[in-house]
Structure 1
């Protein structure tokens, strides 16, 4: 099993979170040694392709629905002659949101909050959170 997974990782055509979960499952089942697991996890993170790791369509649809609802409320207020509150300024440390495509992948220098901690992105086109791909993020100590 180890050699098959390693071949897949070398080719690079996989979704990072999915393959990490499969590697951990095989390790828990006893099909991989701890050393094999560590090697495969590192190889998976090194060879991961951001184009294979975008959020599922259901997440994209949910985000679009939320956006639509906010627009609908604002439009209704405008049509009824009510004042529309200005949009809130962007937070300095916005909460991590799973990218849904190349248009919203994180870039070098982007700042996020993830599980109550602040991080700065260290790579362009990053679609992974700090737990999945820690080397792409720098933890900001306060």
Structure 2
């Protein structure tokens, strides 16, 4: 007997959870849509990834659990750093530069990134190059 759509969807979700758990931080950032969004009443385990809110380029913000707990409404990832670490952000909250995979995640004019410990602002839209590769597309940014 053929599986129902709901059974198939559950099996696919299970496979996505398994695949997501095996990725490095760098690859997890590329595959951020694999991860479930944070919600209340969930028991989170150490090193588990989840999403909450949006990052500066409009993608879901990825977090890694650093302390096992059951989530509460007032323990959101953005306000309880004792439970979560934002992935892809430096200590000041700027996104760490990562190689765009296409136009959908390219940096745009005004985007600020941390590249090798230095903040840069993109001078162009559709910027898929690092500050080293195409210096004319970036300027150092100071706070």
Q: Is TM (by shorter chain) over 0.5? A: no
Question: Based on CA coordinates, which of the two structures has the bigger radius of gyration?
Answer: 1
Q: TM-score band (shorter)?
A: 0.3 to 0.5
Greater share of residues in strand: 2
Higher RCO (Cα < 8 Å, 6 or more apart)? 1
Greater share of residues in helix: 1
TM-score (norm 2): 0.43
